[in-house]
Amino acid sequence: MNEDQITEWLCQRLKTQARLNVLGGVATLLGGLAILAATWGLTYLVSLVAIGPWLGYRHWIHSAIGLFFVPALFWGNARTSREYLSEYSVSVGTVSDTVVSFYLPGVGMASNVNPLAPDTIHSGAKMITDVLYTGPRVVVAGFRALRKARRIRQMDVASCGAVVTALWAAKRRLSFQEIVDATGLTDPGPIFSQIRDIEGVLFLQREPAGLALSQELRQELTQTA
């Protein structure tokens, strides 16, 4: 394939990728908004039951608490590591430190975990928090997909096509300097940044740092040729 053919192929591929990101972003946003609405409703009910006897059962009070709580989830999600929320520790109420689950006739499944231990309570709070952060995470993912679609539409397809052509012709990894020499890019920085959104172009950090095409992308180009 020559550069014109690869650039045309890339143009069509990016158009499809942009459309998929728009559709996925909109669907994800709608799903996130539905989750946030359910979170607000749950907050309203909990507020009504828990503090209604003290604050009264006025609709606007508990609605306002829910409207304050939902934005607070976005703030908390932005400041909390998902790895931290996925790390759990519990205390057991037996001599052994091993967590054991067993069946009690007439009761059902049980375990030797001490539910009143501080670390067990803390782990339970982290699990609940992780679930509450679902809405903000889904909404943020939707906006990311829409931003990616916008980046793809603003991409310099001709320059990116030249880079892909150089990688295709070389049939090996190329350092960033080799790519600049092969394509004649005068301002390669923005182009290399845009290429991150092309699926199948690999950024290699091992010296000399550069780019390569994945095996899947090479096969796709071969089938298109």
Q: Provide the greatest CA pair distance for the chain.
A: 77
pLDDT in tens, 88-127: 665 665 545 555 554 555 555 555 555 566 766 777 788 8
SS3 state at 57: coil
Domains with residue ranges and CATH for the chain: 1-80+133-153 (no CATH), 85-131 (no CATH), 155-224 (1.10.10)
Question: DSSP letter string over 175-188?
Answer: EHHHHHHHH--SSH
pLDDT level of residue 59 (50, 70, 90 thresholds): confident
pTM: 0.76
What's the pLDDT score for residue 73? 93
Kindly tell me if the per-residue pLDDT of 75 is higher than 80.
yes
Backbone angles phi, psi at 103, to 5 degrees: -105, 130
More reliable by pLDDT, 100 or 20: 20
Identity at 43, one-letter amino acid code: T
Place of tokens 């501080």: 118
Both tokens of residue 163? Answer: 């880079």
DSSP state at residue 197: T
Place of tokens 């040729």: 225
| Cα gap 185→51, rounded to integer Å | 64
Backbone angles phi, psi at 214, to 5 degrees: -70, 160
Which residues sit opposite 213 in a β-bridge?
A: 201
pLDDT in tens, 188-216: 999 999 999 999 999 998 888 899 999 99
What's the pLDDT score for residue 195? 93
Helices 59-79 & 134-153 angle (0-180, nearest 10): 60
pLDDT level of residue 51 (50, 70, 90 thresholds): confident
The H or E element spanning position 161 is helix 157-170
What Rg do the C-alpha atoms of the chain give, in angstroms? 26
Backbone angles phi, psi at 144, to 5 degrees: -65, -40
Q: For the chain, what is the mean pLDDT? A: 85
Both tokens of residue 50? Answer: 């828990």
Pairing of strands 108-111, 201-204: unpaired
Burial of 178 (0-12, 13-18, 19+ CB in 10 A): middle
Express as a percent the part of the chain with pLDDT over 90: 51
SS3 state at 190: helix
Kindly tell me if the per-residue pLDDT of 71 is higher than 60.
yes
Q: Which of 61-65, 84-88, 202-206 has the lowest mean pLDDT?
A: 84-88
What's the pLDDT score for residue 166? 93
pLDDT level of residue 46 (50, 70, 90 thresholds): confident
